[in-house]
Each structure stands twice: as structure tokens, then as C-alpha cells.
Amino acid sequence: MSTIRVDSDRCQGHAMCVTQAPSLVDVDDLGFAVIIGDGTLSTPEHHEQAERAVACCPEQALHVEDES
């Protein structure tokens, strides 16, 4: 199972990820990205959203962890 993670040290709150992965990422009161739930990618739609969110981050703060 794969999960999406945010590196809080890198996130600067551009919030581009939220536009691409609204089921997976939200922003907190300061505008920084937070993962919804445990970040598990359980559907093909999740995987697609996660891929787009990772790709669009100007800070390269998101990544997908693969566990086999």
C-alpha cells in the first residue's frame, strides 16, 4: 500500500496540491498542507491525485511512499 506524505519543513503553503488532490490534502489554519487521514492511497483516483499533487509542488514538499 502506498501513502502520500508532506515534508512540513519544505512546505511553504502554496496550496497547489489542494487543487490537484482535494481528497488527500487540505490546508491548516496557517495555510500549510496537511494530509487527510493517514494518507493511504486506496483507489486508482487517489493514486492519480497523489501523482499530480507531487508533480505540481513548487517546493517539492510532497512524496509518495511505496510499501510492498
Partner 1 sequence: MTDTPFDHLEIALQADASDRLSAEREKCPVQHSSAHDGFWAFLGYEHVGDAARDPETYSSASGVTIPAHAFPMALPPIEADPPLHMQVRGPLLPRLAPGVMNDLEDDLRAMVTGLIDEFIESGSADLAADLSIPFPGMSIGKLMNVPDDDVAMLRHMTAHLMQNSTDTDMIMQAMGFFQKLYEDRLANPAEDLPTAILELEIDGEQIGNEQFLAIMAMVMMAGLDTTANAAGTMFELIGANPEVRQALIDDPAKIPQAVEEFLRYATPLHASGRTTTSDVEVEGCPVGAGDKVLLNWLAANHDPAEFEEPDTLNIERFPNRHFAFGTGPHRCLGIHLARMQLKLLAEEVLARLPDYQVDEASVERYVGVTRGLSSLPVTFTAGTTAS
| DSSP at 43 | S
Q: Give the cell for residue 33.
A: 498542507
* Residues near partner 1 (CB under 8 A), total: 18
Considering only 5, 47, 52, 63, the residue that binds partner 1 (CB under 8 A) is 52
For partner 1, the closer of residues 8 and 40 by Cβ is 8
Coil/strand/helix, residue 40: strand
- Pairing relation of β-strands 2-6 and 25-27? unpaired
Q: Which of 2, 35, 47, 56 lies at the binding interface for partner 1 (CB under 8 A)?
A: 56
Cα–Cα distance for residue pair 32/11, rounded to 1 Å: 7
Footprint of partner 1 (CB under 8 A) = 10, 12-16, 18-19, 27, 29-31, 52, 55-59
